[in-house]
Amino acid sequence: MFLATRAPSLKTVLLATGVVLTLVMGVRHGFGFWMQPISQANGWTRETYSLAMALQNLLWGVFGPFAGMAADRFGTMRVVLVGALSYMAGLVWMALVTEPTLFVVGSGVFIGLGLACTAFGAVSGIIGRTAPVDKRSWAFGISGAASSFGQFVLMPIEQQLISAVGWQHAFFVLATVVVALMVPMAFFLREPAAVHDDGPRQSIAEAFGEAARNRSFLLLVAGYFVCGFQLVFIGVHLPAYLKDQGVIDPSVAVMALALIGLFNIIGSYHAGKLGGRLPKRYLLSGIYFARALVIGAFVLLPLSPMTVYLFAAAMGVLWLSTVPLTNGIVAGIFGVKHLSMLAGMVFFSHQVGSFLGVWLGGYLYTLLGSYDVVWGISIALGVLAGLVNLPINERPLVRGGLQAA
């Protein structure tokens, strides 16, 4: 049962989840800056660090549905508290552990659990339950913009921390900040048990089975796999790719990743806003097709700091703009009672894609000495995702004569 007797206001929920998402996603998007210093310090190839990042993303997806179930059943506050502590432990682990297997497994478990309990899937339920139906997509867009704001603000700070205090102490600083800010925000995310009284009375198993048999849900899952593949490959491997291509000034990579965050504030917000007016499936298809075009242009055009910045700005608009649309479709079809769990189910597919994108980037680079094949896969998958989202049916399910609530 939840600890509060009165539901928090939408403004409070958006503010608290915004701070949590700013921190968790801002720190996570900067992990690419640690690839080279950690690999050099420990004598590892890029594949080892890539595998650690891949496992983090995979376990984020594995833990996601369970974190969502817990948030729907016991309240978002408790889940976020667990996530903040686990995230802190993962950052400290990455700073101290030098044995490859322990580094990969430990950081995967701690960071994966921390992300599952604090990121989009875990907080989507309280946002969906608090926001009126006509503002749901917009509210999801606000949360996506908050995560992008974290990327824009924190990534330059992370790079500067590494330069100023060293990569190990940078982890310690971030671990302290995560706990100091996330824990107080969690207490603003208390929910009354009454928020679950509306709508059809489904068990977790019934809700899970209903979604797993729904064609539109499965198409959404397939498209989200591509989103994860593209984003995490770019986020982790772009700094190393630029250096390999002769762009040796590290500030270019920092600026590029920050621009992705800056422009995704615009993209996520407007995607959520447009999702309240236009069919979300068409918007999703357009985003995936546009990503394929942008990535193709980036790898074919001559590389320079300016083309990097243009690529980053364009990808930024498209970066997490899928999140409010995807969560909006799930809430629209199935209702909000089990929204965190269902969002976690969809996100599991996203994280399987993330695992393959980041690991395949490191593996094929080690094997071939180039990222060209992975760029090509990213383009092809973008076209595929654009196609599979087109036939999604967004209409609410009817259960026993009642629409999903």
Element (H, E) at 380: helix 372-389
At residue 404, does pLDDT exceed 80?
no
Q: Which residue has the higher pLDDT, 124 or 101?
A: 101
Q: Which residue has the higher pLDDT, 136 or 176?
A: 176
Residue 192, pLDDT score: 67
Residues 153, 105: Cα–Cα separation, whole Å: 29
74 CB-contact burial (10 Å; exposed 0-12 / middle 13-18 / buried 19+) = middle
Name 38's Cβ contacts closer than 8 Å, sequence gap at least 6: 44, 49, 94, 167
Residue 195, pLDDT score: 44
Tell me which range, 269-273, 276-280, 286-290, is most confidently predicted by mean pLDDT: 286-290
Q: What is the pLDDT of residues 189-201, one digit of tens each?
A: 987 654 444 445 6
At residue 127, does pLDDT exceed 90?
no
Q: What is the pLDDT of residues 144-178, one digit of tens each?
A: 787 778 777 887 888 889 989 999 999 999 999 99
Domain ranges of the chain: 10-190+203-393
**Mean pLDDT computed over 336-361:** 84
Do residues 223 and 283 make contact, with C-beta atoms less than 8 angstroms apart? no
pLDDT band at 2 (very low <50, low <70, confident <90, very high): very low
Mean pLDDT of the chain: 86
Share of the chain above pLDDT 90, in %: 39
Class of domain 10-190+203-393: mainly alpha
Residues 305, 393: Cα–Cα separation, whole Å: 42
Q: Quick one: residue 166, left, alpha or beta (phi over 0 = left, psi -120 to 50 = alpha)?
A: left
Residues 296, 122: Cα–Cα separation, whole Å: 34
Residue 200, pLDDT score: 52
H-type alpha helices, 276-371: 280-300, 305-318, 322-334, 339-368
Residue tagged 């965190």 (tokens)? 340
Length of the chain equals: 405
Tokens (6 digits) for 276: 């309240």
pLDDT band at 328 (very low <50, low <70, confident <90, very high): confident
Residue 17: CB atoms within 10 Å: 30
Share of the chain above pLDDT 70, in %: 94
H-type alpha helices, 75-135: 76-96, 100-118, 120-130
